[in-house]
Structures are given as C-alpha cells and as structure tokens.
C-alpha cells in the first residue's frame, strides 16, 4: 500500500511519539486506502483556488470533528487546523498539507477530470489540481483518522495543518504559509517539529527522496520598467528604444548567474518570463516592462543577487539614455531541512519505503512556502514518488511537479 504510507509512517515509526502501536497502525492503514483514493478523486473533481477553498476546508473540518479532533477554522482565510491530544505526555508534532488548485484548464478525458471554471485576477480561467495538493489533503485526512484511532497510545500532540494558497493568493490578498504562521498556527500548543511532503510525478511510486539543509530554492518575483523615448521605427536616433535596452538587460542578467555567482555554493536561476512593450511594428514605444523570477539557496546569495540585478538594470538603462526601476517581491524562503531532524527520521523513511527506495537528492530550484514553518521550529520536507514504474522510462525530463511558484 504505497500511496499513503510515506506521510503516515514518518510519524508512526517515530519512537518519540508512538508507543507500541505499530500493529494497530498497520491494520488501520490497510483499511483507510480506499477512502484515501476516493477523497483524492473527489478533490480533483472539485478544485478550488487559493483563499477560496471553501468546499475543501468544510470537508476537512467535518472529517476532523467526526474523529473527535479539536478543530480551528478560517485560519489564514480558509485554512483548517486540527489538534489531536495523545493519552501520554510528549512533544507537539505538526503535519502540513496544502489544499489549493491552479488556474489551469484540465484537458484529460478522465472520469475525475475537472471542468471547474472561475475568475482569477479578473480573468475567466479553468481550475485543476495540477500540483498534487488533492493527494496531499487526502493523505493527511487519512493520517488524522488513523491516529485518532490510537490516540490513547500517542505520546504527545499532533497538529494537522491544512493550508490554503500555497500557490499564492489572489492579487491584493495575503495568504499561504506566511499568513498561517502570522496568525499563530505554530503556537498554542507550540510546535516542536513540523513535517511536510510533496508528491513528484517523475519518481517511482514508493520511492522517497530528501536532502538535509537547503533543499528547495527561495522564490522572488521581479518587475522591471524601462522608460525611453518614443519615435518612429524608421528613425530610431530620434528616440530612446526601451525594447532594445530591455533586450540588453535580459542578456546581461544571465551573466550575473554565469560570471558573478559562486555556483559551487548552490544554484542560482534568473528567468525573465514576460516582456511587454509597444503597440505597432513601426513605432518605438516610450516604455517596456518585463517580469521574472529569481531562485537562490541561501539568504546571503539572495541579497547579493537582488543588488546585482538592480545595478545591472540601472547601468544598462543609463548607458542607453533611458531610466529603469526594479521591484522585487519575496514570495518564499529557502526550504531548509534541519540536519539533525533529517538524520533522526531517515530510519522512519527507510522503514516506510525500504532502505533501497530512500535516497538523498540534489537541490530543487522549485520553491515551497512550507519554508515559513521552518522559521518557527525544526522542519523536514521530503519528496514522495507517484509515477508507476512502467512509465518511468518514458519521462522526458526529471522535474519536480511544481507549476506556479
């Protein structure tokens, strides 16, 4: 039963919280699998965007209450927190699952394919679970049911965190893990350690991968506005071309990575994902804008890259007779796995998946707002495979199933 065991057994086989209940847990896991799959399919059929997970959060809250778990609703907009107090003294362990879908049209012709449409930032969009959060919610609901059945044997407290808006809230709103932490989810009771996972479609089902220390990159979004002087396309010398200057900037940003960053200390990625300027093919416009993302693996490098981007943009614009502004929005922190906690939990992972199926992996330049929980307690975030073995040879790229961050 490899679909849900990783998150369950990371807790079940931890001697700090479970006292001689492995057999009870194993039986409960076998019984819960059918429910877990049904929940996953239901959530996939009814996805909801960040800060709008009304149906999902109600199902989660109702389920936790049915198990006799203390429930807090409307945390960070639509989040749900469940608190299960064990029958014996011990630490408070938090487990987190994210609930939101993405503004993407699902094109698969499957029975549980989403046909949901909604409005996102003023646009009509499709909605689907393209990043596995439906699976995460179903898994954590299963964990809650199994542990509620052995609560008298639990050593400590388990806090179930069902988080909205991991993919980011709508424009103009707060949301996600940062808001959960801001509203006190790691307190009352104070969390001693926090765990999370993400499924990955490029890893075989039943396999687990992890990395101590810096694991997933910070994610910053930047916006550049280059202001020049408009003129006719046949007479560029009469103006200052912000599109041509923007092209220079885009090229120069890559030299920050290739010539100014010590890549032996960790990867750096600067990507321009959008550029907008002009209205007609023979008119040089007054301005051009571009938007992109920055990925780094430590705070010092992050700060340095921000300064180098600002300097590069301003000096190239100045050399071309233009002006330019740069704004950088910090989206997530580096997801950092506490090395001591990782070392302690590796035997649990190996028990869950088998020693041969657990391995350390490289850095991931995708990002996760789980990183905010790690600012309040030791944390461990790992990857669980969900790809059938037969499909592994056909995968064109080894990519983590991340979409928006």
Give the model's pLDDT for residue 186. 98
Give the model's pLDDT for residue 352. 84
Give the C-alpha separation, 251 to 268, whole Å: 15
**pLDDT band, very low/low/confident/very high, at 269 (cuts 50, 70, 90):** very high
Which residue of the set 48, 53, 98, 100 is catalytic?
A: 100
Cβ atoms of 160 and 151 closer than 8 Å = no
| pLDDT beyond 70 at 21 | no
Beta bridge partners of 223: 291, 327
Give the model's pLDDT for residue 389. 85
- pTM, whole model, 2 decimals? 0.91
Asked about 166 being catalytic, the answer comes back as yes
Work out the end-to-end distance of the chain between its first and last CA atoms, rounded to an integer number of angstroms: 31
Residue-wise pLDDT tens digits, 289-305: 999 999 999 989 999 99
Beta bridge partners of 161: 81, 96
Residue-wise pLDDT tens digits, 130-168: 999 999 999 999 999 999 999 998 999 999 999 999 999
| pLDDT beyond 60 at 404 | no
Which residue of the set 98, 134, 166, 369 is catalytic?
A: 166
Rounded percentage of the chain residues whose pLDDT exceeds 70: 91
State the DSSP string of 22-82: HHHHHHHHHHHHHHHHHHHHHHHHS---TT--HHHHHHHHHHHHHTT-EEEEEETTTEEEE
Residue-wise pLDDT tens digits, 170-206: 999 999 999 999 999 999 999 999 999 999 998 999 9
Asked about 287 being catalytic, the answer comes back as no
Which residues, at least 6 apart from 274, have a Cβ–Cβ distance to it below 8 Å? 290, 291, 292
């Amino acid at each position: 039963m490899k679909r849900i065991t990783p998150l369950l057994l990371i807790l079940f086989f931890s001697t700090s919280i479970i006292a001689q209940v492995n057999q009870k847990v194993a039986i409960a896991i076998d019984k819960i699998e059918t429910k877990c799959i049904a929940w996953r399919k239901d959530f996939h059929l009814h996805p909801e965007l960040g800060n709008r997970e009304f149906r999902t959060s109600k199902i989660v809250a109702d389920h936790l209450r049915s198990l006799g778990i203390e429930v807090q609703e409307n945390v960070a907009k639509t989040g749900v927190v469940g608190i299960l107090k064990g029958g014996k003294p011990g630490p408070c362990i938090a487990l987190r699952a994210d609930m939101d879908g993405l503004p993407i049209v699902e094109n698969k012709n499957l029975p549980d394919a989403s046909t949901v449409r909604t409005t996102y930032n003023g646009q009509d969009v499709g909605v689907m679970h393209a990043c596995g959060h439906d699976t995460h919610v179903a898994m954590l609901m299963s964990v809650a049911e199994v542990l509620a059945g052995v609560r008298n044997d639990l050593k400590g407290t388990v806090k179930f965190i069902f988080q909205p808006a991991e993919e980011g809230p709508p424009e103009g709103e707060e949301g996600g893990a940062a808001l959960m932490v801001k509203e006190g989810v790691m307190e009352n009771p104070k969390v001693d350690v926090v765990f999370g996972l993400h499924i990955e479609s490029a890893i075989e089902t039943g396999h687990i991968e992890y990395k101590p220390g810096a694991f997933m990159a910070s994610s910053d979004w930047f916006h550049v506005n280059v202001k020049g002087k408009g003129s006719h396309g046949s007479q560029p010398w009469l103006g200052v071309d912000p599109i041509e200057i923007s092209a220079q900037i885009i090229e120069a940003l890559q030299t920050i990575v290739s010539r100014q960053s010590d890549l032996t200390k960790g990867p750096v990625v600067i990507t321009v994902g959008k550029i907008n300027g002009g209205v007609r093919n023979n008119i040089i416009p007054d301005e051009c804008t571009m938007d992109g993302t920055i990925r780094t693996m430590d705070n010092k490098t992050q700060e340095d890259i921000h300064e180098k981007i600002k300097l590069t943009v301003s000096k190239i614009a100045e050399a071309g007779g233009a002006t330019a502004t740069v704004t950088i929005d910090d989206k997530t922190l580096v997801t950092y796995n506490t090395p001591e906690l990782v070392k302690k939990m590796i035997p649990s992972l190996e028990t869950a998946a088998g020693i041969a199926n657990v391995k350390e992996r490289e850095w991931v330049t995708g990002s996760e707002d789980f990183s905010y929980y790690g600012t309040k307690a030791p944390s461990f975030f790992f990857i669980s495979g969900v790809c059938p073995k037969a499909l592994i040879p056909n995968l064109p790229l080894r990519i983590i199933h991340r979409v928006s961050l």
